[in-house]
Amino acid sequence: MELAIGIILGCCALGAGAAMIAGIGPGIGEGNAVASACEAIGRQPECKGSVTTTMLMGCAIAETTGLYALVIAILLIFVAPNMLVNILLNAVK
């Protein structure tokens, strides 16, 4: 029984860590977006305001995939272990 619960907890933690590999994508994407925004501001400093606003919007949308992964990781850490252990205990009964 202890072994089964241990496997559940360990696999939940491993899954959460693996899910956060998705953080690479938004990191690269947002880096590209900010680099391009810096270039644009350097070329045309007078439109700094609108470039910054558009960049923040783009960053927020690029972040979405990373946040999906984050939500899954949070569910795996805080919600899944309790649920799975309860299922196991009920099954054993």
Partner 1 sequence: MQRSLCFKIVDVLLIIGAVLPLVFGMILKILFNPASEGISISGALVYFTIPMPLQNLPITESQVNSALVVITIFFLCLYFTHGLSVKSNLKRQLIAEWIVKQTQSLVKTNMSDYFSGFAPFVAAIMGLSAFSSLLALLGLYAPTSDINIVGGWAILVFVLITYYKMKCGPLHYVKSFGDPVPFLSPLNIISEVATPISMAFRHYGNVLSGAVISVLVATGLRGLSNIIYSLLPKALERVLSNLPILQIGLPAILSIYFDVFSGCLQAFIFAMLTMLYVASGFPEEDYFARKAKKLANLKK
Binding site for partner 1 (CB under 8 A): 56-57, 60, 63-64, 67-68, 70-71, 74, 78
Residues 6+ apart with CB under 8 A from 59: 30, 33, 34
Dihedral sign, Cα of residue 34, residue 38, residue 39, residue 45: positive
Contact 33, 59 (CB under 8 A): yes
Question: Min. distance of Cβ 88 from partner 1 in angstroms?
Answer: 23
Of the candidates 16, 17, 7, the residue with the CA atom closest to the CA atom of residue 78: 16
Question: Min. distance of Cβ 10 from partner 1 in angstroms?
Answer: 19
Instruction: Using the minimum distance from each CB to partner 1, give the nearer residue, 69 or 84.
Output: 69
Instruction: Using the minimum distance from each CB to partner 1, give the nearer residue, 18 or 56.
Output: 56
Question: Min. distance of Cβ 49 from partner 1 in angstroms?
Answer: 11
Instruction: Using the minimum distance from each CB to partner 1, give the nearer residue, 8 or 16.
Output: 16
